[in-house]
C-alpha cells in the first residue's frame, strides 16, 4: 500500500523489513490461489479414498489373487460377497447392526431431546452438577468400563443379546447427544417458548409446538451421528457378543482374522458391506449434519 | 373514580380494601428477588403497587435494570413475585400460568415463530385454544386488515422487514382480544424513523381497540407520547405515576425531573437564603428571588435547607432579547461553549465563565444570535424552576 511508503522517513534504511510487503502479498496470493487450494484438497481426498479404493478392489479379487501385484483384479468376481453374506451367514450381522443402530438412535433421540431442552431452559437444584455428571460419564476411556459392563451383562443374562448391545450403545452416545441438543436448544430464543405460553400453551405444548419443530435440524444431526457412531462401535460389542445371534457387522468383520491366516478378500468384502449404509446416510443427510451442528442459523 | 387511581403520589399505593370498579390490572405490593448463582440476592422490584384502569395505556419507564421488564413479566406470569399479588379483572392470578391470565404480549424481539407463516403466527393463540376454523380465519383477516399486512399473510417471518415483523407481532397479540396487552420495548429494534411512525400507529391502534395496555420502554419520548399515565421506576422502586404532563410539570423528585424531558433538566447546586417574605436562590450562574408561588410551595413542604439543587429545563431558558422581561424571569450572561442548531430551535451549551464552572444546556429560539465562544444574555423562566432537597432528591416546590 502506498501510504505505508509515504509514512517512512526518507534516508532510513528499509532493509530492517526482512520480507517486503510486496513479496509477502505475492506469497499469500499464491497460497490462496485456486491451484494450491485444489491441490491440498485433492491430497486430502486421496488419503481418504485410496485405502477405500484399495479395499474395494481387493473385495473383487478371488482369495488366491490377493497377493498378485496387479492393481486391478484379472478376473473380477462377486464370489467373495456371496461367500461372506450367504456362506458365512453375515447377512445376520448386517441385520443385527441395523436393529441395534436403529433402536439406539430412537432411544437416544427420545431421551436426549427432552433432556437437552430441560438443561437449556430450566433452573433447578443441582442442575449444573447434574449436567457435569452427564458429560463426566464420557470423560474417561470406555475401556475402563468394559469389564464391569461385561460382568453386569453376564449377571442379567444379556450376553450375546441384541438388547445388551443396544444398552451399551445408548450409554455410549446419550451424553454427547444430550450435550448437542442442549446447545441446540440454547440457540433457540427462549422468548419463543414464553410467547407460546402467553399465547395459550402449557410448558409441554410450548415444547412440542414451538421448540421441537425448530430443533428439527439438531435432532436430525443427532440422529445421524448416533446411527453412524453405533454402527461402527466395536469395543463394547466385541466384549458382549460371541456369535452371529447378536454380533454387529463391525465385530463380524474382525472375525475374518483367523488364528492362522487372515482372509483378506472376505474381510474387504465385509468391510465394504459395512460401509455402504453409512455412505448412503452421509450423502443423503449431510446437509442436516452441517446445519444441525453449526446451529445459530436460527435467529429469533 | 377512586382517589387512588388518579394518585400521583410518589408511592402510588392503592387504598385499602376493594379495588375500584374499573380497575383492570392491580399490581399489589409486589417484590421480586432474584437469587444469583453466587448465592447473592438482587432485588429487582420492591413493594410496587399500581392500579391500571380498564382501557388505560400505562407506560412503565426507567433506565435499564430498574425493574420495569421484571414487573411486566410478573404480570404476564413469566416470573412469579417473591411477595405480593397480581390481580386481573378482580381475579388473583398470582399463581396462574400465563395462558390462564387472559393476556397477550409483544416481545422486544417480536418472538415470531420462524417455522410458521404470518397467518399461522397470528392464528396460533386461537388455534391453541381450539377456536372454530371459520372464526379463526375471520379474526386473522380482521387483524391483518387493521394492521395492513394482508398481503404478507403467506410469507415466513424471515422474509419480512423489521416494521412488518412488528406488525405481525401486534396482530398475534390483538387477534385473541384479551383483557390486557403487555408490550416489552416493542419499538426498540426499529430504526429511528420507523420507531416514530410505529409509535403513531400504536397510538391509533390503542384508540381503535381500546384495550388495557401495559407498555415497557426506556425511551421517555415514547412514554410521553403513548401513555395515558406514566410510571417512572428506578432501582426497583416506583418514583412517580401520573399523566405525562404532570410528570413533566411537577416531577416528584430529582430522578423523575432528570428522566422526563429531552434534553434533560439542568441541575445546579444552589444556596437558599430566607429574605423575610421570600427566598433568594444563589447559583454559580445567576441569582434570583424565588417567585411567590414557588416560595409558598417551599413553605408547604416544611423544609427549607440552606443548600438545594436548582432544576431548570433547557426549554425554559431563552435568548433575553427575544422574550419579554418580567418579574418572573432572571437574566444572566453565560459563556456559550457550543451551539447546535436543530432547525426548530438551537441548543446552547453554556458555562458561567469561559472554560469553567458547571455546564448548562439551553434550548433557545433559532433566531437567537448567540455565538460560540462569546457571552450572551439569556433569560430563565422562574415559574418553571424546581428546587430539590440535596439529600433526598425530593422536589420541594411541587
Q: Which pTM value belongs to this model?
A: 0.81
- pLDDT for position A27: 87
Report the percent of chain A where pLDDT is more than 70. 87
Alpha carbon distances (Å) from B389 to A15, B194, B297: 70, 40, 13
- Determine the average pLDDT of the residues in B197-212: 91
CA–CA separation, B395 vs B398, rounded Å? 6
What is the Rg, in whole angstroms, of the alpha carbon atoms belonging to chain A?
A: 27
Verify whether the Cβ–Cβ distance B78 to A194 is below 8 Å: yes
Residue B6, pLDDT above cutoff 50: no
Verify whether the Cβ–Cβ distance A195 to B114 is below 8 Å: no
Residue B2, pLDDT above cutoff 60: no
- Determine the average pLDDT of the residues in B179-204: 91
Q: Which backbone phi and psi does B158 adopt, to 5 degrees?
A: -65, -20
Helix axes B118-128, B133-147, angle to 10 degrees: 130
What are B365-394's pLDDT values in tens digits?
999 988 999 999 999 999 999 999 998 999
Verify whether the Cβ–Cβ distance A199 to B104 is below 8 Å: yes
What are B209-219's pLDDT values in tens digits?
889 999 999 99
CA–CA separation, B167 vs B308, rounded Å? 48
Residue B3, pLDDT above cutoff 50: no
- The mean of the pLDDT values for chain A is 85
> Structural domain boundaries of chain A?
88-293
Nearest-CA distance B128 → chain A (Å): 6
- The mean of the pLDDT values for chain B is 89
Chain A positions in Cβ-Cβ contact with residue B129 (cut-off 8 Å):
200
Q: Which of residues 207-226 of A touch B (CB under 8 A)?
A: 209-210, 213-214
Chain B positions in Cβ-Cβ contact with residue A298 (cut-off 8 Å):
114
Residue B23, pLDDT above cutoff 90: no
- Determine the average pLDDT of the residues in A122-151: 86
Strands B266-274, B279-283: pairing kind: antiparallel
Give the residues across from B318 on adjacent strands.
Answer: B379
Residue A20, pLDDT above cutoff 90: no
What are B222-245's pLDDT values in tens digits?
999 999 999 999 999 999 999 999
Residue A294, pLDDT above cutoff 70: no
- pLDDT for position B306: 81
- DSSP symbol at A209: I
Cell triple for residue A102? 436403529
CA–CA separation, A140 vs B290, rounded Å? 79
Give me the residue from A194, A197, A214 closest to B114, CB to CB: A214
- Determine the average pLDDT of the residues in B199-204: 92
H/E segment holding residue B308: strand B307-312
What are B101-156's pLDDT values in tens digits?
999 999 999 999 999 999 999 999 999 999 999 999 999 999 999 889 999 999 99
- If pLDDT is split at 50, 70 and 90, which confidence band does B181 have? very high
Chain B positions in Cβ-Cβ contact with residue A300 (cut-off 8 Å):
109-111, 114
Verify whether the Cβ–Cβ distance B113 to A300 is below 8 Å: no
- pLDDT for position B8: 41
Compare B322 and A70 and report the one with higher pLDDT. B322
Verify whether the Cβ–Cβ distance B76 to A198 is below 8 Å: yes
Strands B378-381, B180-184: pairing kind: unpaired
Cell triple for residue B83? 411477595
Range with lowest mean pLDDT among A108-117, B199-208, B267-276, B299-308:
B299-308
CA–CA separation, B195 vs B186, rounded Å? 9
Tracing cell 452416545 back to the chain, one arrives at: A173
CA–CA separation, A100 vs A230, rounded Å? 8
- If pLDDT is split at 50, 70 and 90, which confidence band does A211 have? very high
Verify whether the Cβ–Cβ distance A199 to B114 is below 8 Å: no
Q: What residues contact residue B341 under an 8 Å CB cut-off, 6+ apart? A: B347, B366
Give me the residue from B77, B105, B113 closest to A210, CB to CB: B113
- pLDDT for position B69: 95
By the CB < 8 Å criterion, does B128 face chain A? Answer: yes
- If pLDDT is split at 50, 70 and 90, which confidence band does B11 have? very low
Beginning with the edge strand found earlier in the chain, give each strand of the sheet holding B378-381 in spatial order.
Answer: B317-319, B378-381, B329-332
Alpha carbon distances (Å) from A211 to A287, B32, B263, B367: 20, 28, 44, 59
- pLDDT for position B71: 96
Range with lowest mean pLDDT among A151-160, A263-272, B18-27, B180-189:
B18-27
Q: Boundaries of CATH 3.40.50.300 in chain B?
A: 23-102+178-258
What are B35-64's pLDDT values in tens digits?
887 778 999 999 999 999 999 999 999 999
- pLDDT for position B29: 95
Cell triple for residue B338? 457550543
- If pLDDT is split at 50, 70 and 90, which confidence band does B249 have? very high
The matching CATH number, chosen from 1.10.10.10, 1.10.3720.10, 3.40.50.300, 3.40.50.460, for A88-293 is: 1.10.3720.10
- pLDDT for position A14: 54
Verify whether the Cβ–Cβ distance A300 to B114 is below 8 Å: yes
- pLDDT for position B189: 87
- If pLDDT is split at 50, 70 and 90, which confidence band does A296 have? very low
Give the residues across from B33 on adjacent strands.
Answer: B43
The matching CATH number, chosen from 3.30.470.20, 2.60.260.20, 3.30.420.10, 2.40.50.140, for B264-389 is: 2.40.50.140
Q: Which fold has domain B23-102+178-258?
A: Rossmann fold (3.40.50)
Amino acid at each position: 500500500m502506498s501510504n505505508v511508503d509515504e509514512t517512512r522517513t526518507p534516508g532510513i534504511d528499509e532493509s530492517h523489513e526482512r520480507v517486503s510487503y510486496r513479496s509477502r502479498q505475492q506469497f499469500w496470493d499464491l497460497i490462496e490461489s485456486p491451484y494450491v487450494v485444489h491441490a491440498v484438497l485433492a491430497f486430502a481426498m486421496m488419503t481418504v479414498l485410496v485405502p477405500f479404493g484399495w479395499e474395494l478392489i481387493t473385495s473383487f479379487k478371488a482369495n488366491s489373487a490377493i497377493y498378485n501385484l496387479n492393481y486391478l483384479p484379472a478376473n473380477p468376481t462377486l464370489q467373495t460377497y456371496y461367500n461372506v453374506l450367504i456362506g458365512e451367514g453375515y447377512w445376520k450381522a448386517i441385520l443385527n447392526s441395523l436393529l441395534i443402530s436403529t433402536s439406539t438412535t430412537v432411544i437416544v433421540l427420545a431421551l436426549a431431546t427432552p433432556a437437552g431442552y430441560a438443561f437449556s431452559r430450566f433452573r433447578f437444584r443441582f442442575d449444573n452438577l447434574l449436567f457435569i455428571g452427564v458429560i463426566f460419564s464420557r470423560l474417561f476411556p470406555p475401556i475402563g468400563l468394559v469389564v464391569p459392563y461385561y460382568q453386569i451383562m453376564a449377571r442379567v443374562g444379556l450376553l450375546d443379546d441384541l438388547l445388551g448391545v443396544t444398552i451399551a450403545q445408548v450409554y455410549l452416545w446419550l451424553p454427547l447427544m444430550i450435550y448437542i441438543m442442549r446447545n441446540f436448544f440454547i440457540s433457540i430464543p427462549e422468548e419463543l417458548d414464553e410467547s407460546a405460553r402467553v399465547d395459550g400453551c402449557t410448558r409441554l405444548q410450548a415444547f412440542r409446538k414451538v421448540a421441537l419443530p425448530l430443533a428439527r435440524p439438531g435432532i436430525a444431526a443427532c440422529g445421524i451421528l448416533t446411527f453412524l457412531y453405533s454402527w461402527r462401535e466395536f469395543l463394547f460389542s466385541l466384549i458382549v457378543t460371541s456369535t452371529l445371534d447378536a454380533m454387529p457387522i463391525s465385530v463380524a468383520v474382525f472375525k475374518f482374522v483367523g488364528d492362522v491366516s487372515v482372509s483378506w478378500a472376505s474381510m474387504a468384502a465385509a468391510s465394504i458391506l459395512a460401509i455402504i449404509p453409512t455412505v448412503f446416510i452421509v450423502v443423503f443427510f449431510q446437509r442436516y449434519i452441517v446445519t444441525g451442528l453449526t446451529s445459530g442459523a436460527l435467529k429469533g | 373514580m377512586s382517589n387512588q387511581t388518579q394518585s400521583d403520589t410518589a408511592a402510588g399505593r392503592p387504598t385499602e380494601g376493594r379495588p375500584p370498579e374499573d380497575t383492570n390490572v392491580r399490581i399489589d405490593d409486589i417484590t421480586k428477588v432474584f437469587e444469583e448463582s453466587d448465592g447473592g440476592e438482587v432485588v429487582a422490584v420492591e413493594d410496587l403497587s399500581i392500579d391500571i384502569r380498564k382501557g388505560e395505556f400505562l407506560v412503565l419507564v426507567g433506565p435499564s435494570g430498574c425493574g420495569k421488564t421484571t414487573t411486566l413479566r410478573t404480570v404476564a406470569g413469566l416470573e412469579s413475585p417473591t411477595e405480593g399479588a397480581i390481580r386481573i379483572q378482580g381475579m388473583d392470578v398470582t399463581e396462574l400460568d400465563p395462558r390462564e391470565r387472559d393476556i397477550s404480549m409483544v416481545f422486544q424481539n417480536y418472538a415470531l415463530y420462524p417455522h410458521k407463516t404470518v397467518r399461522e403466527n397470528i392464528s396460533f393463540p386461537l388455534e391453541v385454544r381450539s377456536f372454530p376454523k371459520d372464526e379463526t380465519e375471520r379474526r386473522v383477516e380482521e387483524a391483518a386488515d387493521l394492521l395492513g399486512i394482508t398481503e404478507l399473510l403467506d410469507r415466513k417471518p424471515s422474509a419480512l422487514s423489521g416494521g412488518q415483523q412488528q406488525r405481525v407481532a401486534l396482530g398475534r397479540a390483538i387477534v385473541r382480544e384479551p383483557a390486557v396487552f403487555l408490550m416489552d420495548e416493542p419499538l426498540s429494534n426499529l430504526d429511528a424513523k420507523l420507531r416514530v411512525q410505529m409509535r403513531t400507529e400504536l397510538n391509533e391502534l390503542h384508540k381503535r381497540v381500546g384495550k388495557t395496555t401495559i407498555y415497557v420502554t426506556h425511551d421517555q419520548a415514547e412514554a410521553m407520547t403513548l401513555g395515558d399515565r406514566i410510571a417512572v421506576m428506578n432501582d426497583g422502586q416506583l418514583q412517580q405515576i401520573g399523566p405525562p404532563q404532570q410528570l413533566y410539570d411537577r416531577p416528584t423528585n430529582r430522578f423523575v425531573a432528570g428522566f422526563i424531558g429531552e434534553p434533560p433538566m439542568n441541575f445546579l447546586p444552589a444556596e437558599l437564603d430566607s429574605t423575610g417574605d421570600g427566598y433568594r436562590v444563589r447559583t454559580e450562574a445567576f441569582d434570583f428571588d424565588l417567585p411567590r408561588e414557588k416560595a409558598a410551595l417551599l413553605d408547604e413542604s416544611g423544609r427549607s435547607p440552606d443548600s438545594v439543587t436548582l432544576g431548570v429545563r433547557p426549554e425554559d431558558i431563552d435568548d433575553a432579547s427575544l422574550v419579554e422581561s418580567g418579574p418572573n424571569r432572571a437574566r444572566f450572561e453565560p459563556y456559550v461553549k457550543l451551539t447546535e442548531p436543530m432547525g426548530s430551535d438551537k441548543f446552547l451549551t453554556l458555562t458561567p465563565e469561559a472554560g469553567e464552572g458547571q455546564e448548562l444546556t439551553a434550548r433557545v429560539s433559532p433566531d437567537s444570535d448567540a455565538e460560540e465562544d462569546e457571552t450572551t444574555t439569556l433569560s430563565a423562566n422562574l415559574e418553571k424552576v424546581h428546587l430539590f432537597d440535596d439529600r433526598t432528591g425530593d422536589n420541594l416546590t411541587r
